[in-house]
Amino acid sequence: MIIEISKLNKTYSGRTVVDIDRLIINAGETVGVIGNNGAGKTTLFRILLDLIRPDGGEILSKGVNVASNDQWKNYTASFLDEGFLIDYLTPEEYFLFMGSLHQMNTVDVIHHLEKYKEFFNGEILDSGKYIRDFSKGNQNKIGIVSALMQNPELLVLDEPFANLDPTTQIRLKSHIKTLKSSQLTTLISSHDLNHVTDVCDRIILFEKGIVIKDLYTNENTLEELEAYFSK
Amino acid sequence: MLLTFLSHQWTGFWRSKSKTGTIAAQLIMGFLVLYLIGVAILVGSSMQDLIEYKFPDKDIMIVFNGVILYYYVIEFLIRMQIQELPTLAIVPYLHLNIPKQKLVNFLNITALFSPFNLLPAFIFFPFIIMNINLDYGLFACIMYMLTILSLTVFTNYAALYFKRVSTGNMKIVIVGALALFVIAGLEYFKIFSISSISNIVFHTIAGYPLTGIVFIALAVAMFMVNARYLKNNLYMEELKAGVEKKSSTDYPFLDRFGAAGTLVALEIKLILRNKRPRATVSKGLIFLFYGFLFYKNDVLEKDEFGRILFAALFMTGNMILLYGQFMFGWQGAEFDGLLANKTDIRTFFKAKLLMLTLSATLLTLITSLYGLMSWKLLLVHLSAYLYNTGIAAVIVLYFATRNYKYIDLKKGSNFNWQGVGASSMLMSLPVLLIPYLIYFPVSALSNPYWGLAAIAILGISGLLTRNYWLDTLVSAFNKRKYKIAAGFREQS
């Protein structure tokens, strides 16, 4: 068990966005978080990353409340949106900066980036642009790779497939699958049911902040989810 | 349609996140405008007396006619500096079923809402109505006024046009600056005189009122040029970045400061690569000339350091005040990332203090050139420096934790009040008052030098207890970090 959520709730002007009585994520799971807009996926991630203070309840990461202690930062890597990028840096500078936070030197970072040459498709490195001048999809790639680079035990990605071109989506999917191990827990939110059921071993479906379904993926999951969303 | 646009702007103004700040700013601007109009009315109504008083032995008409074009040249330069381009507001409408012409009209009409367009009427009309009417008849008087109005419209659109053309085009800026230099030089050496041209022009209008039509035509032409340019360039790509290749840089000098040094390097890039912080910092350099205003020999001879303390504090610490007040706002866009990543908040604050200290050190080194005026100034600057780094930096950072306003780094800094809140205004009060509270009693009890020493000692004690203050800042920050992050997330 790596994450333990209890009695968590958050409301914005009377509208409940997160209301979780109890939810446990085990170490090594790849969890897909799905739900329509307003289901509270991003809010949940933000509370998990201690960016929003919940109205009540708590999230324990490895048994420690994320809001009271920064320990979780040592093993958690995340990319929620462009707000996580430092947009006036070149991608190289950004990767080096992120690396330096995790005691990686230039050589380590370059070595790591080698692995993502294909993923970058020759558009990111040595492009002579600041991050703010990249398209959304490419910004997304930069954020995802910098999260992966940190060698986390807990990886949090908010809609990583959005804005990516089809090739990159497929590459990202297979990459996440290869990363699966008992040492890495991954939380992914997505609107693409195909992708999440393909990648994740567990799916949690939210609606208005409440857990509606929590199931381990099998061959019927996709149909079940499609049925749910089309009703 | 025009009214719809205006009502959108109006609601946008009232619903903006930084509403209180914007309203306060608008109020201040409003008072400033009222003041200017008041001055203009005063000048306008007493124009005749003013001219007679200032130039007793000159013909009133010659002086008056000579002033007009001068006024417009200066107005044009000021407009180039501070008049805003209202382009960005229309981006959400570009793709809609709205004729381009309407958008252009909207831009052109909103451009007329500028106090600059009112001032000339107040300044020149009273004199024209009273004097020209009597001496040259009603028709000449009307043509005079029409000429003034046309010139106002002309400068209005000319300034906007040149501003639009010159954004992102260094060549035009350089050529323009050179032309200005040459004209100023010619004027200075009396080879060519704006006032004599102005005189000839308005003398002609007085004699042959119909010639005023030329100016009306000029104003219309400038309006058309501007409108055509807008219509042809109404593309979002104007907002896109330059094409030159950006390269990665690093500052090895900062490596010795460890993690804090890395963050400082990041912040230096932030300043150099974004418009607003760059403008803020470069404006700070202008304040380095404060010394010439404040440092007078008689003050220095009598050791009246109280009268120059402000200049010293501001010159050595203007980065701390001007840049430091938005300490987190500058990083508003990536604040979530900084929080979620493995950046220790203590290191973060250390970096901020390091950066402010470095800036003050640099400014103090530059301003030590004033030491050539008197060695006493070096003492004043040194105590101001110690105070700024030891005390002011901490106060500023403390108040910065109470500022939740996002700042758009892409916008300019002239009259840009985004991010300015009550806290940032209040902040400068204690920062600038404390030194006086120390200096005056001590120098009254002993002598001015001990007063300076007391400020320096306060600063040093602040530096020695920096770790304690760091902890205070961290806990102040932790109390409000959710609020700060939420504020930055709403980027308007």
Residue-wise pLDDT for A28-51, tens only, equals 999 999 999 989 999 999 999 888
Contact A84 B259 (CB under 8 A): no
Name the pLDDT band for B253 (thresholds 50, 70, 90).
confident
Distance from the A65 Cα atom to the nearest Cα atom in chain B, whole angstroms: 15
CA A79 to each of CA A5, A8, A112, A158, A160: distance values in angstroms, whole numbers, following the listed order:
20, 22, 18, 6, 8
B97 touches A: beta carbon within 8 Å? no
Extents of the domains making up chain A: 1-75+155-231, 85-151
Report yes or no: B154 and B219 within 8 Å, Cβ to Cβ. yes
For residues B247 and A128, the answer to whether their CB atoms sit within 8 Å is yes
Over residues B185-237, the pLDDT tens digits come to 777 777 778 888 888 888 888 888 888 889 899 999 999 998 888 777 766 55
A90 to B273: CB separation less than 8 angstroms, yes or no: no
B319 in Cβ contact with B281 (< 8 Å): yes
Closest CA to A91 of A125, A68, A65: A125
Cβ atoms B321, B286 nearer than 8 A = no
Q: Tell me the three state secondary structure of residue A22.
A: strand
- Please tell me the distance from the alpha carbon of residue B408 to that of residue B417, in angstroms, as a whole number: 11
The residues in B 334-393 lying below 8 A from A, measured between CB atoms, are 334-337, 339-345
Structure tokens at B313: 């504090």
For helices B119-127 and B47-54, the axis angle rounded to 10 degrees is: 80
Q: Please provide the DSSP assignment of B311-364 as one string.
A: HHHHHHHHHHHHTGGGTTGGGGGGHHHHHHTT--HHHHHHHHHHHHHHHHHHHH
- Using alpha carbons only, what angle is made at residue B346 by residues B344 and B352, rounded to the nearest 5 degrees? 105
**Per-residue pLDDT tens over the stretch A183-195:** 899 999 999 999 9
- Alpha-carbon distance B139 to nearest alpha carbon in chain A (angstroms): 58
**Arithmetic mean of pLDDT over chain A:** 90
Give me the pLDDT at residue B53, please.
Answer: 84
- Which residues does A contribute to its contact with B (CB < 8 Å)? 46, 49-53, 70, 73-74, 76, 78, 80-81, 83-90, 92-93, 96-98, 100-102, 128-130, 132-133, 150
SS3 A215: strand
Residues of A in contact with B340 (CB under 8 A): 49-51, 73, 76, 78, 80, 84
Q: Which residues of chain A are within 8 Å of residue B339 when distances are taken between CB atoms?
A: 49-51
Chain B nearest-CA residue for A86: B334
Which of A51, A79, A139 to probe by mutation at the B interface, max B CB count within 10 Å?
A51
Q: Do A130 and B250 touch (CB under 8 A)?
A: no
Q: For chain B, count helices (H), then strands (E).
A: 23, 0
pLDDT tens track for B31-59: 888 888 898 888 888 888 888 888 888 78
Q: Does B273 touch chain A (CB under 8 A)?
A: yes
Closest partner residue to B241 among A74, A86, A133, by Cβ? A133
Q: What is the pLDDT of residue B186?
A: 78
ipTM of the complex: 0.73
**Is the pLDDT confidence value at B289 over 80?**
no
Q: Count of CB atoms within 10 A of residue A62's CB? A: 17
| SS3 state at B202 | helix
Residue of chain B whose alpha carbon sits nearest to that of A68: B478
The CATH code for residues A1-75+155-231 is 3.40.50.300
Minimal C-alpha gap between A49 and chain B (Å): 6
Claim: this prediction has a pTM higher than 0.80: no
pLDDT score at B199: 84
